[in-house]
Chains A and B, each alone.
Chain A
Amino acid sequence: MENASVAIKEWVELYTSEMVSWAYYKTSQQETAEDLVQETFIAAFQSFHTFENKSKPKTWLFSILKNKIIDHHRKCYRDAVLPANKVSEEYSANLFGFLFEADGQWKKDRKNINWGTDTEELLDNPEFNVVLADCLNRLPASWNAAMQLKYLQEKDQKNICQELEISATNYWQIIHRAKLQLKACLENYWFKNE
């Protein structure tokens, strides 16, 4: 345990700052980020014997942290007041009513909004990053968590459905609605002036 203690104390000094800022970027909550980093170091301390010098300490720590972040989003999904497939019908109806006519056609004002051409570089733009993070946070908590898990894990759909305990149809509905709402949000706060 002596070795573990010495090594990990050094890592705490070296990597805490970077780990917190990474976890903050992934969770949008500073306190959560700090808690997850703390848990990561405790887990690393307890399982130090499994650390092999083949991988770099930083890589090892970040892989533990990534799993903590995934666990955090799972917990958000489970603890959401409204389960993802039961986010009120009213809420979903409002979203569809905002984007579509009663017969299911796109509303006229949606047809003319263009996203421009230099869109792939958008994430390098810090202001866009803030808007996208805001839009994700405006989603119902369970939808946001489902999206985080979808992209963090890149698991196939069957695995995610099992993990979230929903049917495939429900899963598609959630992703579909979440993406539509992100589109509406981005068109409100970012693409409106294009």
Chain B
Amino acid sequence: MNKNNPFVVSCEKSSFLIEKKLAGALSMKEHSQLFIHKLICDVCRKYEKQSILLDNLLRKKIAGNNSTSPSANIDQNRIEKLKSTILGKLK
């Protein structure tokens, strides 16, 4: 790897630039660095896809309205107890 060429970056740096790219925050220089790196690196091309996928999964998981999860088997006794605690505080 040519360390003197400012447009040549490592995979580590490139994975950082991919993160910035996903949020539309790349500078012109960074954009070129990433573009050139991806031309020669299929692993980073793959990582970019993974990172986009991970983004979508996290958005769905964290921001979605989904609440079904097997670990969310909430104990109904606890719910009833909570209800009466809340009702008690509303007086």
Residues of A within 8 A of B (CB): 5, 8-9, 12-13, 16-18, 20-22, 24-26, 30, 34, 37-38, 41-42, 45, 96, 99-100, 103-106, 110-111, 115, 119-120, 122-123, 126-127, 129-130, 132-133, 136, 147-148, 151-152, 154, 157, 168, 172-173, 175-176, 179-180, 182-183, 186
Contacts and interface: CB of A to CB of B under 8 A. Distances in A.
Interface in B38-91: 43-44, 47, 50-51, 53-54, 56-72, 74, 76, 78-79, 82-83, 85-87, 89-91
20 contacts: A12-B83, A16-B79, A24-B72, A25-B72, A30-B74, A34-B82, A38-B85, A96-B12, A100-B12, A106-B43, A115-B53, A119-B53, A120-B56, A129-B61, A130-B69, A130-B70, A132-B58, A152-B62, A173-B16, A183-B47
A37 B1 CA distance: 55
Interface of B: 1, 10-13, 15-16, 19-20, 23, 25, 43-44, 47, 50-51, 53-54, 56-72, 74, 76, 78-79, 82-83, 85-87, 89-91
A153 B29 CA distance: 29
Contacts of A120: 53, 56
Given A30-B74, A147-B62, A152-B63, A16 B82 contact: yes
Nearest to A108: B43
Contacts of B78: 30, 34
Contacts of A127: 70
A80 to B, nearest CB: 18
A37 B82 contact: yes
The 5 closest A-B pairs by CB, nearest first: A104-B10, A151-B62, A104-B12, A22-B67, A176-B19
Given A34-B78, A172-B25, A41 B86 contact: yes
A142 B46 CA distance: 28
A186 B58 CA distance: 13
Given A96-B12, A172-B25, A17 B74 contact: yes
A167 to B, nearest CB: 13
A13 B82 contact: no
B86 A38 contact: yes
A115 B6 CA distance: 32
B69 A126 contact: yes
Nearest to B56: A120
